[in-house]
Amino acid sequence: MAQRLRGALVEGTYHKPSHNLTAYDHYLRGRWLMENTATPGQPEAFEWLEKAIAIDPRCAHAYASIGWELAYMHFNFQPWTDDLRRRARDHLEKALEFGDGDTTMQSMAADAYACLGDNEQAINQGKRAITLNPNDVQAIFGDGLALAYGGRPDEAITLLMRAHELDPQAPGFMMENVAECHYMLGN
């Protein structure tokens, strides 16, 4: 058991957003701003994430965070332009290039691709995230969303309920998505 735990800890160090502590600090500051401010596309958040990329051009989590935020901007009544979609996809492609094997990054990419309407890519990334960590609540939830919006709400319900079972204290919006799936099915 101790050997497996030690191996998991060592493996986990390979999937940190950056091995450079300054880049990692910039990434964390950008993520905090994205998650804790009401302004969509918070310019300061993008600045911190771009600084992380400037220091560590392989910082997959910074690329994924920017791609995710750009993909979500249209939900916040931002103009939905081809340029915005292209920028989101460019950042997601870099994230996938540098973050292969990282559950969190794969899950973020799945969610962002679903927002961009690329359901096949969203489902593929969601499945990849679950393959990497079958008990990661965010990965299961992300794959559930990808399936729901990819036209497979019946399969999505199973995953969304599994995510809720694994983390019953998770935000209420998880159950909201289950209700949406039932609506899609005409229940």
CB-count exposure of residue 133 (10 Å: 0-12, 13-18, 19+)? middle
pLDDT digits (tens, 9 = 90+) for 38-47: 665 578 999 9
Q: What is the pTM of this model?
A: 0.80
Domain annotation for the chain: domains and CATH numbers: 19-100 (1.25.40.10)
| pLDDT computed for residue 1 by the predictor | 44
Q: Which amino acid is at 54?
A: A
Strand (E) or helix (H) holding 13: helix 2-13
Tokens 């927002």 -> residue:
115
List the pLDDT tens digit at each of the 187 positions of the chain: 444 444 444 444 445 566 899 999 999 999 999 888 766 557 899 999 999 999 999 999 999 999 988 988 877 667 778 888 899 999 999 999 998 888 888 888 898 998 898 989 999 999 999 999 999 998 898 899 889 988 999 999 999 999 988 988 877 777 888 999 999 999 8
Angle, helix 103-115 to helix 82-98, in steps of 10 degrees: 160
pLDDT digits (tens, 9 = 90+) for 82-126: 888 899 999 999 999 998 888 888 888 898 998 898 989 999 999
Tokens 């962002």 -> residue:
112
Residue 19 to residues 14, 56, 165, 174, 184: CA-CA distances in angstroms? 8, 8, 34, 32, 43
Residues 6+ away with beta carbon under 8 Å from 33: 42, 44, 45, 48
